[in-house]
Homo-oligomer: A and B are copies of this chain.
Amino acid sequence: MSESTERSRIKIEEAKDKVIGAISETMDLYGVTPAAANLYATMYFKEQMTLDEMRTELGMSKPSMSTSVRKLQEIEMVKKTFTRGSRKHTYIAEKNFFRSFMVFYCQMWEREVKLNMEAIEEAQEDLINVIKDSSSTPEIVAEAKQCYDQLEESKTYYHWVEDLVLSIRSGKIFEFIPKNGQK
């Protein structure tokens, strides 16, 4: 292999590394470990990878790759593929960022809505009991009512988030914000 071919190859790798670094850095915000972030960013430029290739490429332990790959599978950023002949499992990265966006945020937002709505429903029941309680002073009733109303008001937001999730999942959002807006 010639000198300049080797130099070009290195140039390409450097170019990839710049993007790998950026993806990896922003993925921290998505609640994955540095290992998982690095792994996904690396896989983004590969056709497919086995656990051993990951370990070699990132210079990390196999269990670390195993848990990272599982985490990435949970948020559907990596999928397992069947490879005839080899006993090793092979994995491919989801390269469509729109899909990753959808899966990650919808999962996250639904969890948020569910948890908070459940708490709000329970709290509102308690507050109604206080309001209905004949032995409550007007002051107490007023406070309970105010709290109840604040919670009721906040439901508007959670319903909206739910609608947003529906719109993203169904793809309807792209009717409003098209994929080729300013291109």
- Taking Cβ atoms with an 8 Å cutoff, the residues of A that contact B are 2, 4-5, 8-9, 11-12, 14-16, 18-19, 21-23, 25-26, 29, 31, 45, 95, 97-98, 101, 108, 111-112, 115-116, 118-120, 122-124, 126-127, 129-130, 133, 135-137, 140, 143-144, 147, 150-151, 154, 156-157, 159-164, 167, 173, 176-183
Contacts and interface: CB of A to CB of B under 8 A. Distances in A.
Nearest to A113: B26
Given A15-B127, A157-B98, A164-B177, A5 B140 contact: yes
Contacts of A177: 160, 163-164, 167
Contacts of A19: 116, 119-120, 123, 151
B5 A136 contact: yes
Nearest to A177: B163
